[in-house]
Amino acid sequence: MGKRKKSSRGPQGPRKKDPLPTKFTCLFCNHEEAVTVLLDKKGGVGQLDCSVCGQTFQCAINYLSAAVDVYGEWVDAADMVAKEADSRQDGPEPTSRAIRSRRTPEDDVDADDEE
């Protein structure tokens, strides 16, 4: 019987390649697309900043670097800072929210030897 013409082809021609993303989610305030990356390939410097919380970061780039590479550097750097803060145990770190599951020894020991 009647054959239906399948028009599975969209009206669009060849897809345009999207430009590489230059906006990313901020690691600090978690706002999406708040972080803008600028690439200064002449100067060899990649820079990003968050328009919401004002965080900035710079790293060296080369002519092959893309915005996402700068963002990746930032993620790594922030990760390292977080790990450093985590491994440091000499004092409370205001930026790290370490979950303390250990019992504090002071709970059991009552200092009675103050005489």
Q: Which residues make up the interface to Zn ion (CB under 5 A)?
A: 26, 28-29, 50, 52-53
Whichever of 26 and 61 has its CB closer to Zn ion, that residue is: 26
For Zn ion, the closer of residues 56 and 96 by Cβ is 56
Least distance CB 38 / Zn ion (angstroms): 16
Rounded least distance, CB 29 to Zn ion, Å? 3
16-25, Cβ contacts within 8 angstroms, sequence gap of 24 or more = 20/66, 20/67, 20/68, 21/67, 21/68, 22/67, 24/48, 24/67, 24/68, 24/71
> Min. distance of Cβ 99 from Zn ion in angstroms?
23
Nearest to 27 by CA among 61, 90, 89, 70: 70
Q: Kindly state the smallest distance separating residue 27's Cβ from Zn ion, in Å.
A: 7
Q: For Zn ion, which is the closer residue by CB, 49 or 69? A: 49
Do the Cβ atoms of 10 and 22 come closer than 8 Å?
Answer: no
Tally of residues, the chain = 115
Helix (H, G, I), strand (E, B), or coil: what is residue 68?
helix
